[in-house]
């Protein structure tokens, strides 16, 4: 068993751990700082983020974008390590950033690999060792020093950072409980569930819609109550609804037992306006098949699926629709309901809801209240953000904050 003595060990080489190491080493150039990463290389999740373009922060980040038991910590970060500070730091490392029309910030090159490269170059310049294929099993304290047990090493460190991420192991080779290390020092892990992922639905028509995209509004209906709505591009899958607007509802759905998604394909129209529109289209299409009723308005398969979900015989002509059938079609277009299946599958989730209980972390230093000189940063903490750069903003800013404590 190899033995190593270091000043600080950062467990986890993701966005938060890498940022923490860069900031800490600049402050402590003569002290040995190592990153312990269980996978065969660091930063894999950064590479796949934002469709490999890496939406690294969002200029509009505010506390409303976060769901957490650590509100004080979020507010501290937004005040002291806002998006401008993250961008400024990346600029210093040579990364040129550019925001899009929605204030989402990306590297100018639109390459996630550029974000990882500037961080790793800085670590190389400052002699921070990345020890990959090194899984930490637990940590324990003895006479003010920490013993870190890994698969093939024992490391002694004065300061420890837990940056082990969430339960979602997207793009990673090694899978296992990322909360083991936090548990080993007595932290409570708040209930975990997948977030920012497609939502599975039970529906007879969904298969026929696979691959179709439509603009609209989606609303999560939990136990019959509308809890959250989003606008944007809805992507239909063989058994699910997807797209950023749907991702943003997935946390509500997956944390509840009974959920429905309402799709509004014409969110700017009232029910009466939709009825009138259908009547006008019947006057236009006359003897045509009812399947042509929506030609020029919706994708053909969406039109047919709406008719089927409204229990209309699709072999009819448009002008033979009864008043009650017109009402049923209008109701479906107005609020098309899909029964959602809450999921515990993390394989397609971008983030994990839940994690180390925020009440057990000092909000001004991110030091664990369970163990002195142990700090936490990134998704291992019970913080999950909306889609749009908010999760990396949290990972990078909490990494910076902890780096400055070392």
- DSSP state string for 146-203: EEEEESSEEEEEEEEEE----S--TT-S--S-TTHHHHHTT--EEEEEEESS-EEEE-
CB of 352 to ligand FAD, least distance (A): 8
Measured distance CA(335)–CA(339) in Å, rounded: 13
CB of 127 to ligand FAD, least distance (A): 20
- DSSP state string for 62-83: -GGGEEES-HHHHHHHHHHS-H
* 91 CB neighbour count, 10 Å cutoff: 12
Measured distance CA(267)–CA(234) in Å, rounded: 13
CB of 58 to ligand FAD, least distance (A): 8
CB of 211 to ligand FAD, least distance (A): 20
- Long-range contacts of residues 292-299, Cβ cutoff 8 Å, at least 24 apart: 292/318, 293/318, 293/329, 298/214, 298/265, 299/212, 299/214
Measured distance CA(150)–CA(371) in Å, rounded: 19
Task: Kindly tell me which of 99 and 135 has the beta carbon lying closer to ligand FAD.
Answer: 135
CB of 128 to ligand FAD, least distance (A): 15
Task: Kindly tell me which of 172 and 310 has the beta carbon lying closer to ligand FAD.
Answer: 172
Task: Kindly tell me which of 41 and 281 has the beta carbon lying closer to ligand FAD.
Answer: 41
CB of 15 to ligand FAD, least distance (A): 4
Task: Kindly tell me which of 233 and 339 has the beta carbon lying closer to ligand FAD.
Answer: 233
Q: Tokens representing 107?
A: 């590297």
Q: Which of 118, 120, 130, 122 is nearest to 34 (CA)?
A: 130
Measured distance CA(175)–CA(152) in Å, rounded: 17
Binding site for ligand FAD (CB under 6 A): 11-17, 36-39, 45, 48-50, 54-55, 135-136, 163-165, 168, 170, 172, 174, 178, 180-181, 350-351, 378-379, 389-392, 395
Measured distance CA(330)–CA(347) in Å, rounded: 37
CB of 393 to ligand FAD, least distance (A): 6
Task: Kindly tell me which of 309 and 382 has the beta carbon lying closer to ligand FAD.
Answer: 382
Task: Kindly tell me which of 12 and 243 has the beta carbon lying closer to ligand FAD.
Answer: 12
Please identify the residue of the shown chain whose CB is closest to the bound ligand FAD: 14
Task: Kindly tell me which of 329 and 401 has the beta carbon lying closer to ligand FAD.
Answer: 401
Residue 297 phi, psi dihedral angles, 5° rounding = -115, -55
Strands 33-36 and 129-131: parallel
């Amino acid at each position: 068993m190899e033995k190593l003595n270091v000043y600080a060990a950062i467990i986890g080489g993701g966005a938060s751990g890498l940022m923490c190491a860069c900031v800490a080493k600049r402050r402590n150039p003569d002290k040995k700082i190592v990153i312990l990463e269980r996978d065969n290389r660091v930063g894999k999740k950064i590479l796949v983020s934002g469709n490999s373009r890496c939406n690294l922060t969002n200029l509009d980040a505010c506390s409303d974008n976060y769901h957490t038991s650590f509100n004080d910590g979020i507010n501290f970060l937004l005040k002291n390590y806002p998006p401008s500070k993250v961008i400024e730091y990346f600029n210093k490392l040579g990364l040129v950033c550019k925001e899009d029309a929605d204030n989402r910030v990306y590297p100018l090159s639109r390459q996630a690999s550029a974000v990882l490269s500037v961080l790793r170059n800085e670590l190389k310049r400052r002699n921070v060792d990345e020890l990959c294929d090194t899984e930490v099993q637990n940590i324990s304290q003895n006479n003010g020093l920490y013993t870190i047990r890994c698969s093939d090493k024992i490391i002694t460190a004065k300061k420890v950072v837990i940056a082990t991420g969430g339960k979602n192991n997207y793009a990673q080779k090694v899978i296992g409980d990322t909360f083991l290390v936090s548990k080993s020092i007595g932290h409570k892990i708040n209930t975990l569930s997948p977030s920012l992922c497609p939502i599975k639905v039970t529906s007879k028509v969904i298969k026929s819609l696979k691959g179709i995209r439509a603009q609209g509004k989606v609303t999560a209906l939990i136990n019959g109550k509308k809890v959250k709505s989003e606008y944007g591009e809805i992507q239909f899958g063989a058994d699910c609804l997807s797209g950023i607007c749907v991702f943003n509802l997935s946390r509500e759905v997956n944390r509840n037992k009974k959920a429905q998604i309402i799709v509004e394909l014409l969110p700017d129209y009232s029910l009466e306006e939709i009825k009138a529109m259908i009547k006008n289209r019947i006057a236009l299409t006359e003897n045509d098949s009812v399947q042509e009723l929506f030609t020029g308005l919706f994708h053909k398969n969406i039109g047919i699926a709406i008719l089927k979900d409204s229990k209309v015989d699709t072999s009819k002509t448009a002008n033979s629709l009864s008043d009650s059938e017109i009402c049923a079609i209008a109701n479906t277009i107005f609020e098309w309901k899909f029964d959602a299946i809450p999921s515990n599958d993390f394989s397609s989730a971008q983030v994990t809801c839940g994690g180390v209980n925020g009440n057990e972390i000092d909000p001004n230093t991110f030091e664990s209240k369970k163990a002195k000189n142990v700090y936490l940063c990134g998704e291992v903490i019970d913080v999950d953000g909306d889609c749009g750069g908010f999760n990396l903003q949290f990972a990078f800013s909490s990494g910076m904050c902890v780096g400055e404590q070392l």
